[in-house]
Each structure stands twice: as C-alpha cells, then as structure tokens.
Amino acid sequence: MAACVKQDQSESTPQSSQAPATAAIDGDERVMAAAQRIVRSLGTSKNVTEDMILILSNFDNRLSTITDLLTSGGGGDAGVAMKGKREEELECSEMVVLRFESQNQSSLPWEESPEEVLEYLNAVDEIIRLTEDMSLCSSDGEVIDRAERVLQIAMSRLEDEFRHVLIRNTVPLDAGQLYGSIRRVSLSFASNDGDSLDGFETSVEEESVSCYHERGASLGGDLFVDLVHPDAVLDLKEIADRMIRSGYEKECCQVYNSVRRDVLDECLAILGIEKVSIEEVQKIEWKCLDEKMRKWIQAVKVVIRVLLSGEKRLCDQIFAGSELIREVCFTETAKGCVLQLLNFAEAIAIGRRSSEKLFRILDMYEALAEAMPDLQMLFSSDTVDFVCSEAQGILEGLGEAAKGTFVEFENAVRNETSRKPVQGGEIHPLTRYVMNYVKLLVDYSDSLNVLLESSGVNSDNVEADDSGNLDLGIMSPIGQRLLSLISSLESNIEEKSKVYEDGGMQYVFLMNNILYIVQKVKGSELGKLLGDNWVRKRRGLVRQHATSYLRAAWSKVLSCLKDEGVGSGGSSSNISKVTLKERFKNFNLGFEEIYRNQTTWKVPDPQLREELRISISENVLPAYRAFLGRFGGHLESGRHAGKYIKYTPEDLESYLLDLFEGIPGVLNNTKKKISG
C-alpha cells in the first residue's frame, strides 16, 4: 500500500521541499513577482505569451498558475477565476478530509482499504500544495485561512495515525530467542556463597567451592532484530514526509520519541534492567546484585549493538529526507536508555569493594569498553560528546573499581589470620578460594594488564626459582601481581601450619596445600606464565615435606625397632626379654596411636596419598620384619607372646592402607574399621 501511495505521488503530485512552508515564502514571492512582470510586458500577443508561460512553468511549478491568469484574461478577472479554481480544488480535498472526521474513525484503514488511505493522502497533498501556492497571493487570504484550518485538521489526524501505526506495528523483544544467539563462555568462580575472605574456619569440598560464572557472552556480528514491522515503515515515512512538509515536524518528532522511548524502556525491563537509584543499588544484597550485574552485562551488548543500531536504522528510514530530524529523533529516543544503563554501572563503580564483585566488575568493564566504538558511531557529533563522555567516565570508574578491588583482595590474602585448624590437615578454604580466583583472573589478563600497568608490585613477595628465570622486568603487570599473590598465599599457609601441634600433621597440611596450588597452576594459563621450573620447585618442596613428615610421625615408632639396648652376639643369654617386651609393647602402642590419628587425616590427591603409604611401608615394614626376625623367637615360646607380638608384617601393610582416608579406624585382633 505504501508503495502505491509513493507511486501515485510521484506521478500526480509535484515534489516540494521538506522545509516548512513559511521558510520559503520570501523566495516564492520574488519568483511570482518577477513572473507577473514578464506577463505584463508580453502585451497582447497571445501565442508568444503562451509559449513563454510554458517555458517558465517548466522551470518552477509555482509558475504554472500564470497560465490560468492568461487564459482567464488577466487582471481582476484572472484573479477571480484563479480564486474560484483554488476554492474548488480546496473544497474537493476538504470533503475527503472531513469525511473521515465525520465518520469518527479511530484510524485510517491502512490494511482494510488502502484505496481510501491513498485518497486521503492525495487530498492532504493537494491541500499542502494549495497552501504553498496561495501563500504568494495576498488577495486569497480567506481561502488561505480555510486551507490552513483543513490542513490543521489533517495534520492532527496524521499525528494520531503516526502514533497508531508506530505502536500497532512495534515488534516485541524476544529476549529468549535473542540470548539463544549469544555465544557464551563458562568458567568456574572460586566462591561458595558470595562471601569474600570471611568464614574460612570450616573446610569445604571442591564441588561446593566452584560455582558457575558466565563470562563475556559475545554477540555475532550479523545479529539484528526488526523493531517495527518492515511493511509499516514506508507508511510511517509517508506520514512523516507530509507532516514535515506542512511544518509539523515538531509534533511528528514528539510522537516518535514518546512511543519509541516507551518501547526501549520496555525492552530494558525485559532484559532485566530496572530503574533504580544509585542509593538503592548500593543497598541490594550480593546474591541479588550479582544477578543484576550479570543481566546488565548481557543487556549493554544487546541494547547498543542490536536495539540502538536498529533504532538508528529505523530513524534513517522514516526520516530519510532530513538528516537533522533523523539525528534529533534518534538522540532523544536513545539517550535515556543509555543513561539508565550507565546509572547502574556508576552505582557499581562507586559501591563497596569486595572480592566477590571483581569478576562481574571486570565483565562490566569489558562489555562497556567493547561497546564504546558503537556508541561513538551511533550518536552524531553534537551529542556524541555528552553521551560518550558520560560512558567514558563510567568506564574509567569501573576500571578503578576493578583495580581497587584486586588490590584489596591481595591485602586480604596477605593479612587473613584465621587460626582454626582445618580438620584432617586438608586443603585450607583460603587456598581453594585464592587459587580458583587466580585461575579465573588469568582470563582477564588483557584488561588487568591495562588497569594494573601503572601500579607497582612488591617484588619482595616474589621468590625466583632455582634457575632465577622469573625476571619481573619482562613479565606483564598481571603476571607480577599474581606471582606476588601466590607468594603471599604460600607464606600464609606456612603460618597456618603452625596451629597443628602434631608435627606430622603440619607437613601433611603443607603437602596438601602446596600440591593443590601446583595443580591449579598446571591446569591453567598460569602454568605458561610461571613456567616448568616454578612447578618443579614446588613439587620438590612437596617431597621435602614428605621426608619431614616421615621423620616427625614415625621416628619414635621406628626407634623401638633398633637393636641397641636389647642385647648382642645372637645368644639368648645376652637378650633382655624385659627390654624386648618393652620394645614390642611401645611399638604396638605407637603404631596404634598413629593409626587412630592418621586414619582421620585426609590427603585428597590419590597419587600423593599412595606415594605416602609406599614411603611409610618402605621405611616401617623392612625394619619391623628384621626386628621380628631377630628377636621374635625369644618371646614366641613364652607365656602371653601374643600380647607383645600383636601384628604380622602383613597386618601392618594392610593397616597402612587405611591412612589418610579421613575415616577414623580402630585396631584389634580382627581388623575392623569404624566409619565416622
């Protein structure tokens, strides 16, 4: 239908300037005055006069009325004839306009009867033409007033039509389908319940430490949505063209801005972006705020890359004839939507800093940084300074918030002073939290390198490896900071090991935590950053702690299996059975105590657990076999021999398999474990 309207206009209606009619009056009067002087100078030669008029009318359609002047005889009679013809033309168009008003139709029948709509638009075109022509003749004041009244009625109708067509043909945002087109990246975040470095007194399992963190969902380059049904865009353009030509561009823009602002507000609500003040944002509890930040990250990409670019395209289509009107309408429509997004980001940037917010803040920073070029392209030079300077300020604020939060996290790790020992010497929650945190931070290296570039690093916290290949001078800022952070964690874990009174348990605790750190480094980009030598040094440290564990936990028991003090020469007369009984008794008591304690100790890594058991077996079983072989016969023939020789080497080997499982056990003549 819109195409039909356009074709009819091009064939039957002269194209006029889109500027308001009043702006062209002075120029029109000068043209007509010059034309009338030419007519008067032509005298009575009718043929010459008609030829000249034909030539002049081809230059400017406003001169076509001169033909009527001549054919009516010129002078006063011509004026009367011209006035009558204009009244007749106005009356025909007026009837069409008023017929729709008398019928009390709520809107023009765009879909049901395009012919009627075409008739109405043609009538409006004729009225516009008449008002433009008659404005040149002061004698037609009465007709001009009448035409302008009819035009005002028509413009009021078209204003309503513009609103109805725009609202009726708005395409609702399908967020589900839109998000289905977004490519997502999933990462683990080292947080259980949103707390930062508080509450590490309780051990937690690995599964409860990691939770889903959706980072940096990206939009495809060709993703777009229709904001208004395409078939209605031409109809909207036809209405806008006529309102602008009639000098009603202000009313047209007001309708457009009002409707489209409401649509964008509704889109923001669908995307989960609510209108909340900065004060309200800062009062929201973390779990709810985390969800709002996640939605904001998605929304800022969708709004700027999809919705606003679509809105810009829509403005360009509807207001194609006026660059100024296009820019004004788009700016007034989109500005509020952008500022609402920036308002939430500003609240986050100036809010309380805590470690659990860092990844969301970095996501917000990266999303806004990625959107900045699109913002600059969307807004014109007059408004880009305001909108983009606001966005740039918020971007810098988010960057400062991220950097400050990271620094506070470093300080929190360095100064975390919880003294309650972790049950079983297990991996400390601080170690789990920090290493999962660090592993995730590496994925933000590009952004953090920019933000941390101006910040120094305390190199005293960073220990170079045996080869001295950790050259801080050539490392990236984030590399230096993460090395410092891990060094602070290692120092903190060393201090926490001292809360265990049992020396053996201290080393089990250190082995568990250092190995966990190594595994997290090897399983991420940190491994490339720190290098194989750093990993080998930590693995060597684990082996050193294993040796120290054996010495601390088993030296006393193994001392019972030494020959010194029992007797010499192999003669039974030189063997002290009392000493021998005491040795077996003390060994049994020592082994049983170790079993009761160390079955409750936990070594989560199966390889380390197996290596420790093998190491114990290699030290304890040969010594026990040798001692039992040399001296067992001296007691086996006596009374109550089983009281002293309670275990065979095979029994001990079997019992050693129960160590480091974290399940309390009990020893008796029949091997039995009791689950705790």
Q: Tell me how crowded residue 169 is: count the other CB atoms within 10 A of its CB.
A: 18
**Nearest to 203, CA basis, from 418, 506, 508:** 418
Does the pLDDT at position 183 exceed 60? no
Distance CA 331, CA 320 (A): 15
**Per-residue pLDDT, 58:** 45
Q: Are 306 and 298 in contact (CB under 8 A)?
A: no
Q: Which of 173-177, 571-575, 617-621 has the highest mean pLDDT?
A: 617-621
Q: Are 264 and 333 in contact (CB under 8 A)?
A: yes
**Per-residue pLDDT, 633:** 80
Does the pLDDT at position 467 exceed 50? no
pTM metric for this prediction: 0.74
Length of the chain: 676
Distance CA 322, CA 433 (A): 58
Distance of CA 527 to the CA centre of its chain: 27
Distance CA 514, CA 181 (A): 42
**Per-residue pLDDT, 191:** 45
Maximum CA pair distance of the chain? Answer: 165
Q: Which helix (H) or strand (E) holds 488?
A: helix 477-497
- Following DSSP, what letter does each residue of 540-566 receive, concatenated? HHHHHHHHHHHHHHHHHHHHTT--TTT
pLDDT in tens, 116-170: 888 888 888 888 888 877 654 555 677 778 888 888 888 888 899 899 999 999 9
Helix, strand or coil, per DSSP, at residue 185: strand
**Per-residue pLDDT, 205:** 37
* % residues pLDDT > 90 (the chain): 45
Distance CA 345, CA 468 (A): 43
| DSSP tag of 420 | P
Average pLDDT over residues 471-481: 76
**Per-residue pLDDT, 154:** 87
- Following DSSP, what letter does each residue of 98-140 receive, concatenated? HHHHHTT-SS--TTT-HHHHHHHHHHHHHHHHHHHHHTT-GGG
Q: How far apart are the first and last CA of the chain?
A: 81
Distance CA 368, CA 304 (A): 10
**Nearest to 268, CA basis, from 340, 166, 162, 193:** 340
Token code pair at residue 406: 């990271």
Out of 136-140, 257-261, 342-346, which region has the weakest mean confidence (pLDDT)?
A: 136-140
Does the pLDDT at position 672 exceed 60? no
Q: Are 500 and 549 in contact (CB under 8 A)?
A: no
Distance CA 165, CA 407 (A): 55
Q: Are 580 and 630 in contact (CB under 8 A)?
A: no
Does the pLDDT at position 662 exceed 90? yes
Q: Are 348 and 281 in contact (CB under 8 A)?
A: yes
Q: Which helix (H) or strand (E) holds 315?
A: helix 309-318
Does the pLDDT at position 413 exceed 80? yes
Q: Are 192 and 204 in contact (CB under 8 A)?
A: yes
H helix intervals, 278-322: 278-281, 286-302, 309-318
Which residue's structure tokens are 């002269």? 14
**Per-residue pLDDT, 453:** 83
Q: Are 457 and 539 in contact (CB under 8 A)?
A: no
Whole-angstrom Cα Rg for the chain: 44
Q: pLDDT: is 34 or 171 the higher one?
A: 171
On the CB side of 311, how many CA atoms lie within 13 Å of its CA? 31
Q: How confident is the model at residue 387 (pLDDT cuts 50, 70, 90)?
A: confident
Distance CA 38, CA 232 (A): 47
Q: Which helix (H) or strand (E) holds 184?
A: strand 183-190
List all residues 6 or more positions away from 75 whose beta carbon is below 8 Å from its beta carbon.
Answer: none
Distance CA 499, CA 497 (A): 5
Helix, strand or coil, per DSSP, at residue 314: helix
Q: At 14, which amino acid appears?
A: P
Q: Are 133 and 86 in contact (CB under 8 A)?
A: yes
Average pLDDT over residues 347-353: 92
Q: Are 431 and 517 in contact (CB under 8 A)?
A: yes
Does the pLDDT at position 457 exceed 80? no
**Per-residue pLDDT, 559:** 93
Q: How confident is the model at residue 594 (pLDDT cuts 50, 70, 90)?
A: very high
**Nearest to 519, CA basis, from 612, 604, 615, 601:** 604
**Per-residue pLDDT, 221:** 53
Out of 73-77, 104-108, 663-667, which region has the weakest mean confidence (pLDDT)?
A: 73-77
**Per-residue pLDDT, 637:** 67
User: Mean pLDDT across the chain, nearest whole number?
Assistant: 78
Average pLDDT over residues 345-370: 93
Q: Are 63 and 53 in contact (CB under 8 A)?
A: yes
Burial of 343 (0-12, 13-18, 19+ CB in 10 A): middle
- Following DSSP, what letter does each residue of 651-671 receive, concatenated? HHHHHHTTTTBS---B--SS-
Average pLDDT over residues 211-221: 51
**Per-residue pLDDT, 572:** 52
Q: Tell me how crowded residue 427 is: count the other CB atoms within 10 A of its CB.
A: 27
Average pLDDT over residues 541-551: 96
Does the pLDDT at position 622 exceed 80? yes
Distance CA 507, CA 450 (A): 40
Q: pLDDT: is 328 or 78 the higher one?
A: 328
**Per-residue pLDDT, 508:** 97
Distance CA 334, CA 307 (A): 9
**Nearest to 504, CA basis, from 459, 547, 445, 451:** 547
**Per-residue pLDDT, 79:** 53
**Per-residue pLDDT, 501:** 93
Distance CA 35, CA 40 (A): 9
**Per-residue pLDDT, 593:** 94
Token code pair at residue 270: 């669908």
**Per-residue pLDDT, 635:** 80
pLDDT in tens, 426-453: 999 999 999 999 989 999 999 999 998 8
Q: Are 534 and 465 in contact (CB under 8 A)?
A: yes
| DSSP tag of 402 | H
Q: Which of 19-33, 65-79, 563-577, 636-650 has the highest mean pLDDT?
A: 636-650
Does the pLDDT at position 57 exceed 50? no
